Amino acid sequence: MTSSHITKLKINTVIGKTSLKYEGDILKRVLELPNFVLNKRAKVIFKKKKGITAVINKSGVIMIYGGKSQNDQMDILNSILDELNSYGIVVESTNIEICSIGISGRLKNINTLNLENAVEVLRAITKVEYEPEQFPAIIIKLKTPKCCVLLFANGSFVVQGIKTIKDGEKAINKLMKCLMNSKGVAIKGDISL
């Protein structure tokens, strides 16, 4: 379900975390297997599914990057467990905790955002960065909900660092409320509360 100010909302990526329970040095064991490689930071990388990567550290914590849902996260975890079990490495894992979700979408009925004016309006409620020569969006860092929002002149947005989609909707609604209260200084289009 999307809020009244958002259209075309989609999940771009999910980051999850879990732990492996294993007696001994898990990194040493998995490095003997074909689908696991060591990276520069002494962490093991497992990549079996396009767009999803799992990083295993020495303590057995696995960070799973990518996918569009918790089911995608579970699929990669199960692939890791199946691979380990097929080589006689018996491990248990805890449930996956969603650490971060990245979403994108468009603001409904927005033709154009005047980013310079939007920056001035939004600075009243939060930290805002805008360097049009370097990046074509406003970078907005909210404390509640804690996230980072990229807001583009055409009304597109990206929200990173949220735990739920509802948090993303709250962030966008908070920004829209602020922009709309500015008497349309930053917005061109047919919008209403």
Domain ranges of the chain: 15-99, 109-189
Taking only the tens place, the pLDDT of each residue in 138-151 is 999 999 999 999 99
Q: Give per-residue pLDDT as tens, 35-70.
A: 888 887 778 888 777 788 899 988 889 999 998 888
- Report the predicted TM-score, pTM, of the whole model to 2 decimal places: 0.82
CA distances from 65 to 38, 50, 159 (A): 16, 11, 16
Q: According to the model, what pLDDT value does residue 147 have?
A: 97
CATH code of the domain occupying 15-99: 3.30.310.10
Q: CA–CA separation, 145 vs 161, rounded Å?
A: 9
Q: Which CATH architecture has domain 109-189?
A: 2-Layer Sandwich (3.30)
- Quick one: pLDDT band at residue 183, thresholds 50, 70, 90? low
- The one-letter amino acid code at 101 reads I
